[in-house]
Chains A and B, each alone.
Chain A
Amino acid sequence: MLETVKKGSAGFVSTQYFTFAEPPHELELDSGERLGPITLAFETYGRLNADRSNAVLIEHALSGDAHAAGISVDENSISALELGMHGIESAGGTIDKRRLGWWDDMIGPGKAFDTDKYFVICSNVIGGCRGSTGPSSLNPRTGRPYGLSFPVVTIADMVRAQRHLIDYLGIERLLTVTGGSMGGMQALEWAVSYPDRVRSCIAFATAARLSAQGIAFDEVGRQAIMADPHWRNGDYYGLANPDTGLAIARMVGHITYLSDESMHNKFGRRLRNREKYGYDFSPEFEVESYLHYQGDAFTKRFDANSYLYITKAIDYFDLSNGHGSLKAAFRGVNARFLVISFTSDWLYPSYQSKEIVRAIKANAGDVTYFEVESSYGHDAFLLEYEAVTPLVTGFLAHTLEAAERRS
């Protein structure tokens, strides 16, 4: 049970909801379709200061949610990560680890995103299934879940929706927008789409556009879901879920989040619960059982259609769209940037971060780049919190100082 809150914790938190874009004022999407009403699930930690200059917006990755930090008091809250597998053992034995936020290592008093100094916001993306409007939400026009009638959304659409939340919270200018992977894409999109609303941007393990390799893996995941007979063209709500397909998609995903070295260190060729080969096809290597566990756990908290929609949004993401070039996309962007990549990340390799850096430099922008030595692969952005905390702390402190000097 929840007896103590560990030091450095953002404390007990509850998800809040904000609804907007009621017809006829629906949100216009990149696809040309309109979506409304829209609900965004969000959480906040820390306090907004008097001049509203200390707001930090956290963007989650593919499978994340609004619960980024602290201990959730909400019923049926299971954190975005399959915890325990993600090194959050440090939380202390008295707290149900599954109630910790997905970036609890980075957000809280005295942490990188110090909730004693900053007002931290995290919201679930549209298209998601963790409280924000997505394909599993009820379509008010039909009274049934949207399913595939939900419009395809883009990273820019997700950011567009968040802008309404930031307006609602009364924040004119965010001190920073940050996130890793798809979260980093949203952070970059914020800086480019709303240059006057963002003072800085911290982009972890991300890219200005997903590589062909990344698209390829996403498509395998989607095909696994769509090949599941329970998927029924997305119209499975109230019936059996396409869990087998979703679990396979997640297994593929997890392979891309690790590295050869991290798999070797974590599993090697060790067998699980047996000494000898079984000469059959049941999962017997530890790496197999890890993937099966991750796949199964994922189906308990994630909607298969949301997986299709969100991976599609990632695939479509290309910051140069509508600008002609990446360099042109950053024209007129005045945020300070901190771009961080990880040496063993092959899903979002360092060269893609450098591409972002080059485009900002070409516009005489203010960009700091750091490549963290790590063996964890893409997961490093969640695991290497000790390496990145001092970088974020220094960068943010100086950004806030500069903001206060100007105002």
Chain B
Amino acid sequence: MKPEVGTRDARLNYRADLERIASFVPERSRVLDLGCGDGALLKLLVDRKHVIGRGVEISEEGVRDCISKGLTVYHGDLDEGLGDYPNDSFDYVILSQTLQAVHKPEFVLKEMLRVGAVGIVSFPNFAYWKIRWQLLTTGRMPKTDYLPYEWYDTPNIHLLTVKDFHDFCASHCLAVDQACYLTNGHEVQTLPNLLAKLAIFVVRRK
């Protein structure tokens, strides 16, 4: 579900995303990372912010990597991984570049904010100008370093834009505490829906 980290740019972008997410998380908070992959973000949070960290990951390989990093992780899907937790078990629940890949995004977001007070959600912005341009000029499904898959073989089944997410928050009574837009590791200040490759939102229940 994570972007293929083959290219240098993609690796740097991924890292920038993690660093930015980490900056939103206060020291010693309780953190749940949904779709935590190899545990890179969780490990960073545990080492640097001394958080109490928990992960959920469906791939065997990812869970193995997490365990070898000493992380606490649940091998299973998000529904199961979330459902077991009582209300307000966490201060922060993170969904890093996973939202576009889940089957029921609405349900997952709702569950996130049931088990945690604050949600941090990052996703590739499908309205990024290069994506628009690719679709316009080639007439085919765009591919980028964040969305590198063929249409017929992609985990990314719920693509969305910055505007879509704002609309979702408005219609689902979620308050956006902070929003951060990134392109190649740099913050985007203007026209985020057009200029940002990646969006990070910090949301909570209203």
Residues of B with C-beta under 8 A to A336: 72
Q: If A367-B72, A368-B74 touch, does A391 touch B84 (CB 8 Å cutoff)?
A: no
**Which residue of A is nearest B71, CB measured?**
A368
A397 to B71, CA, bound (A): 12
**Which residue of A is nearest B30, CB measured?**
A364
CB B39 to nearest CB in A, in angstroms, measures 11
Give chain A's interface secondary structure class.
Answer: helix
Judged by a CB distance under 8 angstroms, whether B86 is at the interface is yes
Instruction: State whether B84 touches A371 (Cβ < 8 A).
Output: no
Q: B residues 30-77 with Cβ under 8 Å of A?
A: 30, 60, 63-64, 66-76
> Quick one: which of A358, A362, A390 contacts B68, CB cutoff 8 A?
A390
Residues of A with C-beta under 8 A to B84: 354, 357-358, 361-362
9 residue pairs bridging A and B, Cβ less than 8 Å apart: A354-B76, A354-B80, A354-B84, A367-B74, A368-B73, A370-B60, A370-B63, A398-B70, A401-B70
Judged by a CB distance under 8 angstroms, whether A26 is at the interface is no
Number of B interface residues in the complex (CB < 8 A):
20
Give chain B's interface secondary structure class.
Answer: mixed
Residues of B with C-beta under 8 A to A397: 70
Residues of B with C-beta under 8 A to A395: 67, 70
Residues of B with C-beta under 8 A to A394: 67-70
* Extra 7 A-B pairs, beta carbons < 8 Å, given A370-B67, A402-B70: A354-B80, A362-B85, A366-B72, A368-B66, A369-B73, A370-B63, A394-B69
Mark each residue of chain A from 352 to 379: 1 if its CB lies under 8 Å from any CB of chain B, else 0: 0010011001101011111101000000
A172 to B68, CA, bound (A): 27
Q: If A354-B80, A370-B67 touch, does A361 touch B85 (CB 8 Å cutoff)?
A: yes
A367 to B30, CA, bound (A): 14
A157 to B10, CA, bound (A): 57
CB A342 to nearest CB in B, in angstroms, measures 12
A367 to B63, CA, bound (A): 13
Residue ranges of A at the interface with B (Cβ–Cβ < 8 Å): 336, 338, 354, 357-358, 361-362, 364, 366-371, 373, 390-391, 393-395, 397-398, 401-402
**Which residue of A is nearest B66, CB measured?**
A368
> Quick one: which of A362, A368, A390, A391 contacts B72, CB cutoff 8 A?
A368
Instruction: State whether A391 touches B64 (Cβ < 8 A).
Output: yes
> Quick one: which of A364, A369, A373 contacts B74, CB cutoff 8 A?
A369
Q: Nearest 4 pairs between A and B by C-beta? A: A398-B70, A394-B68, A358-B84, A394-B67
Judged by a CB distance under 8 angstroms, whether B23 is at the interface is no
Judged by a CB distance under 8 angstroms, whether B89 is at the interface is yes
**Which residue of B is nearest A360, CB measured?**
B84
A357 to B84, CA, bound (A): 8
CB B193 to nearest CB in A, in angstroms, measures 38
CB A137 to nearest CB in B, in angstroms, measures 42
CB B101 to nearest CB in A, in angstroms, measures 20
CB B32 to nearest CB in A, in angstroms, measures 10
Residues of A with C-beta under 8 A to B64: 390-391
A391 to B69, CA, bound (A): 10
Q: Which of the listed residues A357, A361, A390, A395 has the most CB atoms from chain B within 10 Å of its own CB?
A: A361
Residues of A with C-beta under 8 A to B30: 364
A347 to B69, CA, bound (A): 31
Residues of A with C-beta under 8 A to B89: 361, 364
> Quick one: which of A358, A364, A369, A398 contacts B75, CB cutoff 8 A?
A369
